[in-house]
Amino acid sequence: MNLWALMFSTTPLSEATFYILLSLAPGPKHGYAIIQEVESLSNRRIRLSTGTLFGAIKRLLADGWIEPVEAERAPRGRKSYRLTADGRTMMMTEYRRLRTLADLAARHLNESRD
């Protein structure tokens, strides 16, 4: 399946998936750092369990949206992940979709006040 077909078949992303991808946008993170960043980005609304996170990581790895990276001086067994180009494209596609929805809602709500 080409990337465009993939984007339209997989959007909208779940909120947790979007936050996981967003947490990796600045650079690689290990699982616990992803959990903390998602909680922070969502103002503590989303609290990922390790099981939920690693299920999502497995899916994102299979989809090619993230990839493992070797972390220097990482404790044994701790894996870090980073966005791939496809993962960044998916994150930005979802961002633009959400932005369009919010802009539309704002315009509609402003018009209904008049």
Per DSSP, helices labelled H in 31-79 are 31-41, 50-63
pLDDT in tens, 57-114: 999 999 999 999 986 665 666 899 999 999 999 999 999 989 998 998 998 888 766 5
Q: Is the pTM of this model over 0.95?
A: no
- Per-residue pLDDT at 82: 96
pLDDT in tens, 9-43: 556 899 999 999 999 999 999 999 999 999 999 99
43 contacts 35 by C-beta, under 8 angstroms: no
Instruction: Give the C-alpha separation, 68 to 58, whole Å.
Output: 11
The number of beta carbons lying within 10 Å of the beta carbon of residue 58 is: 10
| CATH topology for the 13-113 domain | Arc Repressor Mutant, subunit A (1.10.10)
- Per-residue pLDDT at 71: 66
Instruction: Give the C-alpha separation, 33 to 19, whole Å.
Output: 12
The number of beta carbons lying within 10 Å of the beta carbon of residue 43 is: 7
